[in-house]
Amino acid sequence: MNTKNINAYCFWLLICFFSFNGAYAQETKDSLVNVAFDKVAKKNLLGGVSVVNVSDLLNKSYGTYSLDNLQSFVGGYTGNLWGQAPLILVDGIPRRATDVRLVEVEAITVLKGASAVVLYGSTAAKGAILITTKRGSENPLKIKVRLNSGIFVPKSFPGYLKSADYMTLYNEALTNDGIATSGAGYTQQDIDNTRSGVNPYKYPDVDFFSSDYLRKAYSRSDVTTEVSGGNNFARYYTNIGLSYNNSLVKYGEQKNNSDLAFNVRGNVDMNIAKWLTASADAVAISNSNYTGRGNFWGSSSTIAPNFNRFSPLIPIDMLDPSNAALQTIVKNSNHIIDGKFLLGGQSTNPTNVFSDMLAAGYIRTKSNTFLYNLNLKADLSSITEGLSFKTGTSMDYSSLYSEAYLLPYATYRPTWSTVNGKDVITALEKFGEDKNSTNEYVGRSTYTQTMSFRSQFNYNRTFAQDHTVSANVLGWWYKTQFSSDIDNEGGSDYQPVLNTNLGFQAAYNFRSKYYIDFSAALIHSAKLPPGNRNGISPAVTVGWRMSNESFFKDHLSFIDDLKLSASYASIKQDLDITGYRANNVNEPVDYYLYQGYYSNNAILGGYYQWRDNVAGGRTTLSGQAENPDLTFVKRNEFRLSLDGAIFKNLLTFDFNYFSQNTKGLLARGLTIYPSYFSGSGDFRPWINFNEDKRTGFDFALNLNKQAGQLFYSLGVSGMFYNSKAVQRDEIIDQAYLARAGRPLDAYYGYISEGLFQNQAEIDAHAKQTFGTVKPGDIKYKDLNNDGLIDNRDQQDLGHTGWAASPFSFGLNLTLKYKHFTLFALASGTRGAVGFKNSSYYWVGGSGKYSEAVLDRWTEQTKATATYPRLTTNSNNNFRNSTFWMYKTNRFDLNRVQLTYDFDKKIFNDSFVNGLSLYIQGDNLLVISSERKLMETNIGTAPQTRFFNLGARVSF
């Protein structure tokens, strides 16, 4: 099946682009595109839809994830669609994108506009992505084998202070807080001994990112075999894949960390009779993960370099040899590390990350997934020409469980003495017990099951060669149920994820020039009260191919194709029917929000003293009031699209403007109901009140050119995006505090006026209410001029871009000369802000100190300081404000791949049909004023560059 990818390009760069025949827009003949419950000729798409031909893409860009770098091809996609999370469907079934690898995918269709997803009912009200897997064709047996092997190289690690510097600055923080360092801090002798490295076991200096614990790189390898073929009766496609990777950590049991994945897919299409066809798909996926115990990466950002004043290892050769009790401890210990060490600990830290890694055991997590589809299609043209019937069912089952081994162990705190001028351990204090166990146990188990069923009648017929009429009537149902042990993942879900809807579509086009389409869905939701559980979602789309008009052909001959379309849709959805119940620590719930309830449990119920002041009792209180009028949330959307091609398909383009209002989002009625409705109990109901608005413009451009043996292309995709909270149920006393009227991703914080330089500045400034303020602390602006700095002095500091940045873009480049193909992918964002609020910057208590604190405020550095004074009490300084704010503008070079395709003539006398070799680099470069921050992870495994060598051979 031939499909086209829509590559996107920034329109203001258009004049700078040299041409390129995009691999996704290169075909001259029209192709069929998968849309909701149907296939449509690409030329007849009416906007809000983008297509990526993955099968062709894999010839020059290898990836594993099914949505790999999609933002470089599809305008409006940033991980979300137009700022909202889409429904993912694999071969028409709601599934995880991780259920299918990129090498199994034929094409991806991105349905952005409401008119494109209306037939899916409520569940796709925020957009949909259709992943279509490969299928067999009427061809002799074909076998393709792909092998890859690569390494992941860390980009960077956080920079933390060494132990002696940490101890020195921690003393400074205590002094700044007026706390004597003699008790809580460190002596100068301890600092000097630590700095000299005289005894690293008595004066530890632990670097988590050293070669003692980490490899320089880790590897990943995979092999995939594809088998396809068939005849007029049956066509088949089989994909078998195996992948393995280890990890960066090489210490303790975590040196064996690994992931092993195996998958098998079989897709079969059959002609049962002239009028009846069928298809059956089956997928089995098995994943196994092995992880040694111990939170290495989390601890790397929290444990001070002196390891909280003790050593994780105690050297046996430094035990007093004349102390028989110590030698007995060694003899009886179950954990002698490398024959040299006991495990260290102390009363406040009887266990630690390194002893966990060395002695506590491991967790082996296994997941298995089985996916099954069965589809039938009947040609009913014997009844009336153009009529057909399709039906399909599926069942997916996923299980996950862990086989864990947990072993209790003892740790020891040494007592150091100096004997004959040498440090000797003269006593050991024991914590915990060494215990033996040879049994694994099931530590975690979860189960997920999805079932679906659909049936539809299709009618498609062209009258008098000019009038094409089509219609669909369908029913779609699916249910996903999650279950687990009560101690795992919170237990089973009482309510499944459920979608039920009927759909209807009628369309007409005249000579592919004038189009009109009406689609509607009748949906049902059990989340709503009886009487309000059904709703209708309509959508109307019109289109006009202007290039087919005579005045275009006569006067604008350089325009090959130009189509304008517009749509209006109102989709009712229950995805945002969600809230919480106060009787269980504000437990999130989706169902029964329309019902009132009462409780007298420990959270909601109240205790009242009787008048005798001796006894009392609990009383029942209201948790929420009933709302029998609760109804659907509505996505009302207007979309205008323009797509076409000019200069003999030198340039193809696709532009979409959208304006989307989401009305009826839930609120609790803070301003609508009297204040006495909450207090002792809560009598407020959930109501449809809040409203959001999203507007934007996305674009996709392809410039194409063939110059002799050189084929080159350049493409850009992107989106300008804005959002607004139109209406909010809120109580405010200052206009600048209102969320209504501001972007959905607006972040509120304080305006920094620098650092206080002396006490006189503090005395002259508005009183800051976040603890004791001293010189060197951050000064905040008094926005409401009331003389106090509190939470009413926050304002909108900018977009955080959590759904989509104000501007996002992606690029792709292909250069092909003879047998060489160079391919590159890039993406970027602009217009959003972030905050340096990780533990790397916000250092409190006795937490780890990063290199950021070296620029701290002191009396000597007050003129140049870019970091507040050191303190163990961070109430004032560590708040989101302009002091910590930075711009997240960035450009990422996501992939570069060079492929060499051997001349097929070489294999004329062999069973090999083709061979390609390629080298590839992923996540290669970030260009940003905050590059170091953006490439550094805190408390998690580091970001990596991936360098891969691959081969593809066909038989």
pLDDT digits (tens, 9 = 90+) for 886-931: 999 999 999 999 999 999 889 888 889 999 999 999 999 999 999 9
Q: Positive or negative, the Cα torsion across 678, 683, 689, 694?
A: positive
Q: Two tokens at 548?
A: 């087919």
Q: Would you say residue 161 has pLDDT above 90?
A: yes
Rg (CA), the chain: 33
Q: Would you say residue 13 has pLDDT above 70?
A: no
Q: What is the pLDDT of residue 928?
A: 97
Burial (0-12, 13-18, 19+ Cβ within 10 Å), 141: exposed
Q: Which residues of 76-101 are buried (b: 16+ CB within 10 A; e: fewer)?
A: bbbebbbbbebbbbbbbbbbebebbb
Q: What is the pLDDT of residue 296?
A: 97
Q: What is the pLDDT of residue 442?
A: 80
Angle at 113 between CA 110 and CA 118, to 5 degrees: 100
Mean per-residue pLDDT, 821-841? 97
In contact, 721 and 805? CB cutoff 8 Å: yes
In contact, 31 and 39? CB cutoff 8 Å: no
140 vs 163: CA distance, rounded Å? 68
Report the number of secondary-structure helices (H) and strands (E) in the chain.
11, 49
Confidence of residue 490 (pLDDT cuts 50, 70, 90): low
Q: How many CB atoms lie within 10 A of CB 930?
A: 15
3-state SS string for 404-446: EEECCCCEEEEEEEEECCEEEEEEEEEECCCCCCCCCEEEEEE
Q: Which residues of 317-351 are buried (b: 16+ CB within 10 A; e: fewer)?
A: ebbbeeeeebeebeeebebebeeebbbbbbeebeb
Dihedral angle of Cα 541, 545, 546, 552, to the nearest 10 degrees: 180
Report the Cα 297 to chain-centroid distance in Å. 20
In contact, 429 and 401? CB cutoff 8 Å: no
Please choose, from the candidates 770, 777, 762, the residue with its C-alpha nearest in 3D space to the C-alpha of residue 793: 770
Please choose, from the candidates 875, 871, 884, 874, the residue with its C-alpha nearest in 3D space to the C-alpha of residue 169: 871
Q: Two tokens at 114?
A: 């409401």
Q: Two tokens at 563?
A: 């189509």
Q: Two tokens at 595?
A: 């019902």
Please choose, from the candidates 270, 272, 267, 277, the residue with its C-alpha nearest in 3D space to the C-alpha of residue 92: 267
Mean per-residue pLDDT, 642-666? 95
Q: Two tokens at 256?
A: 């064996």
Tell me which of 813 and 592 has the higher pLDDT.
813
State pLDDT tens for residues 51-66. Answer: 999 999 999 999 999 9
Task: Tell me which amino acid residue 865 is.
Answer: A
Q: How many CB atoms lie within 10 A of CB 691?
A: 19
State pLDDT tens for residues 406-422. Answer: 999 999 999 999 988 89
| DSSP assigned state of 218 | E
Q: Would you say residue 487 has pLDDT above 70?
A: no
Q: Would you say residue 633 has pLDDT above 90?
A: yes
State pLDDT tens for residues 727-737. Answer: 999 888 888 99
**DSSP H or E stretch at residue 169:** helix 163-176
Q: Would you say residue 19 has pLDDT above 80?
A: no
| DSSP assigned state of 318 | G
Tell me which of 208 and 679 has the higher pLDDT.
208
State pLDDT tens for residues 842-885. Answer: 998 888 999 999 999 999 999 999 999 999 988 999 999 999 99
State pLDDT tens for residues 175-189. Answer: 999 998 777 899 999
State pLDDT tens for residues 66-93. Answer: 999 999 999 999 999 999 999 999 999 9
Q: Would you say residue 438 has pLDDT above 80?
A: no
196 vs 297: CA distance, rounded Å? 27
131 vs 823: CA distance, rounded Å? 23
Q: What is the pLDDT of residue 557?
A: 87
Q: Two tokens at 761?
A: 């500045």
Task: Tell me which amino acid residue 270 is.
Answer: M
Q: What is the pLDDT of residue 2?
A: 39
Task: Tell me which amino acid residue 851 is.
Answer: E
Please choose, from the candidates 140, 118, 138, 142, the residue with its C-alpha nearest in 3D space to the C-alpha of residue 128: 118
Mean per-residue pLDDT, 203-223? 97
Mean per-residue pLDDT, 555-576? 94
Instruction: Give the strand pairing for 616-619 and 651-667.
Output: unpaired
Mean per-residue pLDDT, 607-615? 76
CA distances (Å), 18 to each of 47, 77, 704, in order? 26, 25, 8
Q: What is the pLDDT of residue 616?
A: 77
Q: Would you say residue 612 has pLDDT above 80?
A: no
593 vs 629: CA distance, rounded Å? 11
Dihedral angle of Cα 605, 608, 610, 614, to the nearest 10 degrees: 100
Please report where in the chains the tokens 């002698």 appear, as a residue: 336
